[in-house]
Amino acid sequence: MTRAQQTISIALLLTSLYLAIFTEIVSLPQTIQKEIVPVIPLWALVSFGSYLLFKLGWGVFTFNDVPDAHKEILAQIQQARTELKAKGVDVGED
C-alpha cells in the first residue's frame, strides 16, 4: 500500500467516523454532541494549518545549518560541468 493510499484510507475512516457522530448514529452525551462535534472540522483545519506553518518556519530556521551539503552540491555541480564540457556542451561559467 502506497503512502497516498494510506493517507486516503485514514482520511476516509476519520470522515466516516465524524459523519457517524455528527448524524448521531453514534450517540454521545448531549453536551459533547451539540457543542464540541460541530466545531471539530474547524479545529482540525486550524491544527493542520498550524502544523504546516511550524514545518515551514522550522525549514526556514534550519535552512543555513547545512554547510556540508552546500559544499557537496557545489562539488557535484562542478563535476557535472566538467563532464558536460568533455562531451562538448557549453555550460557557461558563473
Q: Could you tell me if residue 12 is inside a domain?
A: yes
Q: Could you tell me if residue 84 is inside a domain?
A: no
Q: What is the pTM of this model?
A: 0.59
Domain count, the chain: 1
Q: pLDDT digit of tens for each residue in the chain (94 aa)?
A: 899 999 999 999 999 999 999 999 998 999 999 999 999 999 999 999 999 999 999 988 887 667 788 889 899 999 999 999 999 888 777 5
Q: Could you tell me if residue 88 is inside a domain?
A: no
Q: Could you tell me if residue 71 is inside a domain?
A: no
Q: Could you tell me if residue 18 is inside a domain?
A: yes
For residue 11, what are the domain limits? 3-63
In the numeric block, the cell 515551514 is attached to 56
